[in-house]
Amino acid sequence: MCGIVGYIGYGDASEFLLEGLRRLEYRGYDSAGVAIIDPDGVVSVRKTTGRIERLASALASAPLPGSIGIGHTRWATHGPATEGNAHPHYGGDRLLTLCHNGVIENFQALKTKLESEGYVFQSATDTEVIAHLISSCLDRQESPVRDADPHAHLAQAVKEALEQIRGTYGLAIVFRDYPGVIIAARLGSPLVLGVGTDEHFIASDASPLVGHTDKIIYLSDHQIAVLTADSLRVTHRDHGRVQPSVEALQADTSDVTLNGYSHYMLKEIFEQPESLKNAMRGRLSEDDATAMFGGLNLTPQQLGSVDRIILTACGTSWHAALLGEYLIEEFARIPVEVEYASELRYRNPPVDPGTLVFAISQSGETADTLGAIREMKRKGHHTLAICNVVGSSIAQEADGGIYLHAGPEIGVASTKAYTSQCLVLSLLALYFGRMRHLSFDAGQRIINSLHGLPSKVLAALQTGEEVKQIAAKYCDATNFLYLGRQYNFPTALEGALKLKEISYIHAEGYPAAEMKHGPIALVDEHTPSVFIVPHGFVYDKVMSNIEEVKARGGPIIAIVEEGDTRVAELADDVVTVPSVDEFLQPFVSIIPLQLLSYHIALLRGCDVDKPRNLAKSVTVE
């Protein structure tokens, strides 16, 4: 939630800031603003409500020249989405200007204290507290700290202020009297630095840096960076000055632009054959008929003694976890529990020493998932992350992990990250299975099926045209049911979530047989039921459930496997997907459901990539 950017160098700051904010817009899109320091050292702020394009127009009609600046795109937490609450915010008598991503929990107490000291608040945000607090720390410095770094006293004031704050922050700060420096800091909210030639960049994630530099630093919690055009100094609250590790940023501009597609969601749906290949690349061993992972950081003894697995996540990632439970229990016979991270973090379940905890998160920043993994770590469990965003908070927090390598996912509704999470979980099922019960032969068969999966997903993408027609037929419905069993129960949940998220139609995902215990009361001629009914051991059972809906006059949309003829006799609309092994059916059957929600949302005039009230990365509880 919220995205921040910063630039310091000799180029045009507003150009980088605007483009960077466009790339971060998925993090929040209710208002935006920039602060730019002009060549005479004067800081000017421009803010608008609404999307980044409004800010771009404001800057186009009244440009702010300068080669140092910070910017922000907001998802409101404290205070409505007004221009006054948009960032950047001033601290003190405009002594400093800052952008913030995160939440300050003790802001009310700090605000009262600062007000009693004479600070006047212009907004309803928690952020303004940080700005005034840093200003008050600067004001109090009688003999500013001086060392080789002429800006050390600024960093010292920031450090002192942050010590009084309880909450999370990613910060970018410019100073009225020191126009050649930006200070960045993070705790619990993501922040990266880009290292260029005579220029430095700040951003909430790597995407704004793409095309500007391929050198990236993932700032860690409690680090403060002091940036000038040609210098960079990082200190840690407890360790003093640290040497940041500069890593290679592997992405090109096509990863963060639409590349000819009308929406990021559509682009990402069509990227799935490739993202699945990337998730399995280098992770399948034909010789041992198993999967391989480089970063679990567990000894063979520890791996052998795992007797329970907890998968914790939120939203779509939770649906992937549910499929993971089915797969790991089936292949490896290890008991698995799937926990909503928001529940797990405040529960106190008995957890044995042989329990392994996986946090699954596309962004790696979801506050509840981060909270849950911290809680599990505190209790002494080995924690692992399955994340897409490299260097993200959850990836940093966990003891080890597996990256999805799906590339940036920008559409708020998750698509390619979901299938990549499911893929990584099937690799884990194979891995643990081969350590326990699965034969070499069974391992080989699973590997062969996995190798064939990307081409099957590519074929499933060909259903686009028929799905579009089905979307036109049902786009005015106000309720949908999504029904599937076993491996396709998570598919039903995910299909329903996709529709809700982007088209604002109420949809419920249910295990098909459970429908009789409630949702069947919703069935009428206006409520379409989407059945996921590929061949397999529950096929006949699902057929009976279809009959039950049919008998009550409910329209039926069915996702079937090639060669099926029975379902068409009952269903109103049928979409055929390629035949795959049963454990891979969720990968092909989710494709038409993603496309269905996309086309329905388009027909209803919804903003597919930026649905109302949602944000891609939920960094608040």
Positions that interact with ligand G6P (CB under 6 A): 314-317, 361-363, 366, 369, 412-414, 614, 616-618
Closer CB to ligand G6P, 22 or 500, in the complex? 500
State the nearest-atom distance from the C-beta of 315 to ligand G6P, in Å.
3
Compute the least distance from the CB of residue 192 to ligand G6P, in Å: 16
At closest approach, how far in Å is the CB of 250 from ligand G6P? 20
Q: Is 354 helix (H, G, I), strand (E, B) or coil?
A: coil
Q: What is the dihedral of CA 366, 371, 372, 377, to 10 degrees?
A: 130
- The nearest distance, CB 420 to ligand G6P, in angstroms, is 11
- Segment (H or E) for 47: strand 43-49
Beta carbon of residue 387, minimum distance to ligand G6P (angstroms, whole number): 8
CB 213 within 8 A of CB 10: no
DSSP H helical ranges for 487-570:
489-503, 539-551, 566-570
Q: Which is nearer to ligand G6P, 372 or 556 (CB)?
A: 372
Amino acid at 298: L
423 in Cβ contact with 282 (< 8 Å): no
State the nearest-atom distance from the C-beta of 267 to ligand G6P, in Å: 16
CA distance 254 to 128: 37
Quick one: 315 or 528, whose CB is closer to ligand G6P? Answer: 315
Nearer of residues 19 and 205 to ligand G6P, judged by Cβ: 205
- d(CA 360, CA 344) in angstroms, rounded, equals 13
**Residue 142, Cβ neighbours under 10 Å: how many?**
5
Q: Which amino acid is at 317?
A: S
CB atoms within 10 A of CB 136: 22
Using Cβ positions, the residue closest to ligand G6P within the complex turns out to be: 315
Task: Give CA angle at 346 (340, 349), nearest 5°.
Answer: 80
Provide the sign of the torsion angle of the four alpha carbons 428, 434, 437, 441, taken in this order.
Answer: positive
Q: How many residues comprise the chain?
A: 621
Tokens encoding 269: 């749906």
**C-alpha separations of 254 from 35, 155, 261 in Å:** 28, 37, 11
> What is the C-alpha separation between 251 and 66, in angstroms, rounded?
28
Q: How far is the CB of 209 from ligand G6P (least distance, A)?
A: 20
Nearer to ligand G6P, 417 or 533 (CB): 417
Q: Is 559 helix (H, G, I), strand (E, B) or coil?
A: strand
**Is the CB of residue 184 less than 8 Å from the CB of residue 6?**
yes
The structure tokens listed for 221 are: 């919690």
Q: Choose between 6 and 102: whose C-beta lies nearer to ligand G6P.
A: 102
Give the catalytic positions in this structure. Answer: 2, 616
Minimum CB separation of residue 389 from ligand G6P in Å reads 8
> Considering just the CA atoms, what is the radius of gyration of the chain in Å?
26
Residue with tokens 């700090």: 110
Euclidean distance between CA atoms 314 and 340, whole angstroms: 6
What's the min distance (Å) between Cβ of 363 and ligand G6P? 3
- Give the residue with the Cβ less far from ligand G6P, 361 or 597: 361
Under DSSP, the state recorded for 507 is E
**Nearest-angstrom CA–CA distance, 268 and 127:** 34
Beta carbon nearer to ligand G6P, 119 or 418: 418
- Tell me how far apart the alpha carbons of residues 106 and 69 are, in angstroms, rounded to a whole number: 28
The answer to whether the CB of 345 falls within 8 A of the CB of 371 is yes
CB 276 within 8 A of CB 420: yes
State the minimum distance, in angstroms, from the CB of residue 408 to ligand G6P: 12
Q: Name residue 561's beta-bridge partners.
A: 577
DSSP annotation of 519: G
Q: How far apart are CA 123 and CA 138, in angstroms?
A: 21
Q: Which is nearer to ligand G6P, 355 or 363 (CB)?
A: 363
Closest separation between CB of residue 341 and ligand G6P, Å?
8
Smaller CB separation from ligand G6P, 73 or 617: 617
CB-wise, 81 or 614, nearer to ligand G6P?
Answer: 614
The Cα 123–Cα 404 span in angstroms is: 40
Torsions phi, psi of 94, nearest 5?
60, 30
Q: CA 337, CA 349: separation in Å to the nearest integer?
A: 11
Bond prior to 190 in cis (omega within 30° of 0): no
